[in-house]
Homo-oligomer: A and B are copies of this chain.
Amino acid sequence: VAHLIQCVPNFSEGRDPAVISALVEAVRVTQGVALVDQSADADHHRCVLTFIGRASAVQAAALAAARQAVALIDLTRHVGAHPRIGALDVLPFVPLGETPMAECVDLARATGALLARELGLPVFLYEEAATVPERRNLAIVRGRGFEALREAMLHGECAPDFGPRLVHPTAGAVAVGARGPLTAYNIVLDTDDLSIAKEIAHGIRERDGGLPGVKALGLWLPSREQAQVSINITRPLETPIWLVYESVREAAAGYGVSVLESELIGAIRLEELVETARHYLKLPGLDRRRVLDLWAARLGSEDEENDGEG
């Protein structure tokens, strides 16, 4: 059975179409990977690519995109709503199906070493790939962002796992990790009052007694002049996306504010869609094995292979 791995690099560029398409193309032309999604956001000034494949192909695609990011993105001229430390800001590897987490840990460390050597980036290993417990938490790794990191000397406790003791002048540093599934999900509120989004984020985040595995921030979207609750669901099979949506919707209603729309950044797991339909349609008997397209994708690919040999 194939050991598939998902890779979800986040880049600090969400506006320039030429840069975004260079990043996308670097992945697209890599043999053996399937590009699942590209999400760019002008307000966050980030883009997120999602692709899958075996370890070696995924690593090749990640390195190819990283080269483009270091060449084309200048963090000294970057301002955005989202915390970040690098041009290629975060590079997580996620096991799919039966793939063991250890394989993603190995891949993160090997890829981190290559990024340091080839591109001169300080590399911080995080979450499952972390070498010290404090670095498991990405928020701590990112600290106060590129500007703070640039001033600091990366020695002692601050030393990166790989690479130079100074951040790259234009590309900063990078956090490379291995982690479980994560659903990046934003909910846009019909209000220009950022404090409401911040209060709602406070109410749903696990750290403050909210929903299991939920991280959340209230952010301001200048291009839309609206407030947004920006959410990471780090245990999407435990805390379903519909529960996050309903929690935000109800909390907003308490302020007399409605949800304008929500946005997914990157990919979603079929199980999350199944669980959403199960809930809203009161359809307990639904399960992923009943989704026709999944069987067709399997059988179709097998047949394509057979056709190719015939």
Contacts and interface: CB of A to CB of B under 8 A. Distances in A.
Contact of A295 (B34, B260, B264): B34
Contacts of A296: 4, 52, 96-97
A299 B4 contact: yes
Interface in A238-292: 241-242, 245, 259-264, 266-274, 276-277, 280-286, 288-292
In the assembly, how many copies of this chain are there? Answer: 2
A62 to B, nearest CB: 16
Nearest to A295: B34
A53 interface: yes
A305 B306 CA distance: 9
Contact of A273 (B245, B273, B282, B302): B273
Contacts of A261: 282-284
A263 B286 CA distance: 8
A262 B281 contact: yes
A100 interface: no
A41 B226 CA distance: 50
26 contacts: A2-B300, A4-B299, A6-B292, A34-B298, A36-B292, A36-B295, A50-B292, A52-B295, A242-B281, A264-B283, A267-B292, A268-B286, A268-B291, A268-B292, A269-B291, A270-B273, A270-B292, A270-B293, A270-B294, A272-B277, A273-B274, A276-B276, A277-B277, A294-B297, A297-B301, A301-B301
